Amino acid sequence: MISKCIYCQSDKTIKWVIQKKSNQVKQKIVKCNNCNTIFPEKSMSEDESRIYIHNELYDINKYNVNTFKEAVSKDYFVVKKIKEYFRNGENALDVGGHIGGFIYNLQEIGYDTYGLDIYKNAVDFAIRMGQNMYQSQFIEDLPYSIESKSFSLITFMESLYYFKDPKTVLLKTKSLLNQNGLLVIQTINGDSKYFKNHTFFSRYGDNVQFMPTFKSIKYWLEDLNFNVLEIIALPRFSINQLLKYDKSFKSIIRKCGLFLNHLDYKNRTPLESSDKLIIIARKI
């Protein structure tokens, strides 16, 4: 069976590796020779994926003030980066915003914030925490209050790889951005050294639709005529875990994490094989 690339539709794809899902079912991974996109040969349908995530992640009983604090704290590194780009009077949309921890950060920077998630429990909780979140499936059922706006910033924080059709999602994103608007994507990198010893599904989850890499994301954004401003690496899994830390001694641990991150840059961990990527691109 020929697998067409989910991004560029090329049939120049190769069956690349076989990996196991969490239920031990073997899954062929396909790589596109044209745009370098990596994706499972058989992906879940959007309904299957929705049910899967809902059962795994979205449980109203899990949500409390501490969950919210964790959600606010975990993206420290990218928040710091976005701050450098902020101008007064800007607005921001976070796609796949879960319980609104990330838009809380954007609001603190000064953005007028909006967030979307398809899960009612998550959105209800976010609203209770004072966040401007909407229950919506990007891009099929956008509320009018989002559809009618144009945004200075649109973010996908570890959410892009749940979408079945990245090209359509990125094109819609582009149309919602204002001229010179910024797109920020944070993602696990499929070429991370971590995956030499672990399967993709160990971190992306069984319902992942593709595994973004430095090369594929760069290809996509240039193909869609975005100006890629920066691709930044969080180089090692262990350091990422430090930066996510939200218990006592938080600030000391974070400083250690940032210092180790800095040292790792000096050791020249190649961007292509870094653990996580933060991509900042401008609509032109």
Residues that bind Zn ion (CB under 5 A): 5, 7-8, 10, 32, 34-35, 37
CB 5 within 8 Å of CB 34: yes
Q: CA–CA separation, 187 vs 271, rounded Å? A: 13
Least Å distance between CB 36 and Zn ion? Answer: 7
Structure tokens at 92: 């921001």
Question: Taking Cα atoms as reference points, which of 103, 104, 113, 110 lies closest to residue 88?
Answer: 110
Residues 283, 188, 205: CA angle, nearest 5 degrees: 120
How many degrees, rounded to 5, is the angle at CA 170 between CA 16 and CA 142?
125
The helix or strand, by DSSP H or E, that contains position 203, with its residue range, turns out to be helix 201-204
- Cα–Cα distance measured from residue 32 to residue 275, given in angstroms and rounded to the nearest whole number: 21
Q: Is 99 helix (H, G, I), strand (E, B) or coil?
A: coil
Task: Name which of 8 and 211 has its Cβ closer to Zn ion.
Answer: 8
Question: What is the nearest approach in angstroms of Zn ion to the Cβ of residue 47?
Answer: 25
Q: Are 35 and 220 in contact (CB under 8 A)?
A: yes
CA nearest to 119, candidates 70, 53, 172, 65 = 53
Closer to Zn ion by CB, 124 or 165: give it: 165
Residue 259 and residue 205 in contact, taking contact as beta carbons nearer than 8 Å: no
In the complex, least distance from residue 215 CB atom to Zn ion, rounded to whole angstroms: 11
- Which is nearer to Zn ion, 10 or 137 (by Cβ)? 10
Please give the span between the terminal C-alpha atoms of the chain, in angstroms, as a whole number: 39
158-196: b (≥16 Cβ within 10 Å) or e: bbbbbbeebbebbebbbebbeeebbbbbbbbbbbbebbe
Q: How far is CA 166 from the centre of its chain?
A: 12
CB of 139 to Zn ion, least distance (A): 21
Closest approach, Cβ 140 to Zn ion, in A, equals 24
Considering the complex, state which of residue 32 and residue 106 has its C-beta at the smaller distance from Zn ion. 32
Nearer to Zn ion, 8 or 71 (CB): 8
In the complex, minimum distance from the CB of residue 31 to Zn ion, in angstroms, rounded to a whole number: 9
CB closer to Zn ion out of 29 and 243: 29
Tell me the closest approach of the beta carbon of residue 32 to Zn ion, in angstroms: 3
CB nearer Zn ion, residue 38 or residue 177: 38
Rank residues 50 and 164 by Cβ distance to Zn ion and give the closer one: 164
Min separation Cβ 225 and Zn ion, Å: 17
